[in-house]
Amino acid sequence: MSELIEVLTKDGSYSLKSVFFQENFHSLLGALEETKLKFTAPSNLQRFKGKSLNVLDICFGLGYNSASLLNELIKQKSNLNLYALEIDKKPLEYSLRNESYLKLWAPKVKTIFESLYRKDYFEDQFFKCSLLWGDAREKINIIPSSIKFDLIYLDGFSPQKCPQVWTIEFLSKVTEKLNSQGYLITYSSSAAVRKTLRNLGLEIFTIKPRFNNRTLWSQGTIAISKFDENKLKSNSNFERLSLLEEEHLLTKASIPYRDKDLNSSKDDIIKNRLDEQLLSNLLSTNKWREKWGMTKLSVKS
């Protein structure tokens, strides 16, 4: 799909930068660390020890999230039905050539990924995995409507770079596939994404930063249809949105991305949202930043 540049991140794990999107696949602090912190840990995989679960990985990319998931499920002897959506084969091809990447996981992960690359499919007595290549807005319709997911990972490029997978219309399709106790997990703290998920009827939580640092007020978002409050009390990975985050959802940054027929271009989606923001009477995002002393910070919106 586009030229990719290898990037060595701070924790020693490799990632890529997309020239087309002008964005890295992962934080420079660490591709592996980001996966564990923002996806694997919040998944609370111990819930599924010795059980079966359904997982949807949107924007599979290099495969870090699915690899980490598989690695943990192999240890705890869980059964998995995995669907992954990805438009570009090059990142997975890179992963399968990179020995440092492959050494991060159990050998079976490489076997599964090789099968996904060659045949788009893998199955044994524990795992059934399918990789659907193409535009996620189209390929999501191939997944049988009877399947409801316990976990949905949404890990596309940021909304400003790839708004196609962050629109009301696409997220509506995604949330329809989440079971009542399922977790939709994303690294994004975008007000537009969070407000959209809330408007679609999900409860929104913030993934806790590892350190109390004003410049890093969230590691991402978890959205759940029906949440047991008792489970939140003992959860060390996510919590209710702070006042700062709630007020973020009252700004122009919360105006959603729209893609009525699920075939709009990136430029059209962004232009239409900018037009809507200009006409909006909501508080400007800069005013929100000023109030919270974050005028020099970049907040994905």
Range of weakest confidence among 21-30, 90-99, 159-168: 21-30
> What region, left, alpha or beta, does residue 22 occupy, with left being phi > 0 and alpha being psi -120 to 50 degrees?
left
In this model, does residue 145 exceed pLDDT 80?
A: yes
Each residue's pLDDT tens digit, 53-87: 999 999 999 999 999 999 999 999 999 999 999 99
Q: What is the pLDDT of residue 213?
A: 54
Q: State how far the Cα of 94 lies from the Cα of 294, in Å rounded to an integer.
A: 38
> 31-291, which class in CATH?
alpha beta
Which residues does residue 8 pair with via DSSP β-bridges, in sequence order? 14
Residue the block writes with tokens 């995604």: 174
User: Is 58 within 8 Å of 42 (Cβ atoms)?
Assistant: no
Total-model pTM = 0.94
The whole-angstrom separation of Cα 166 and Cα 146 is 23
pLDDT band at 233 (very low <50, low <70, confident <90, very high): low
Provide mean pLDDT across the span 187-209: 95
Least confident of 91-95, 102-106, 222-226: 222-226
pLDDT at 300: 44
With the CA atoms of 173, 174, 175 and 176 taken in that order, what torsion angle do they form, in degrees rounded to the nearest 10? 50
CB within 8 Å of 262: residues ≥ 6 apart? 137, 138, 167, 169, 170, 173
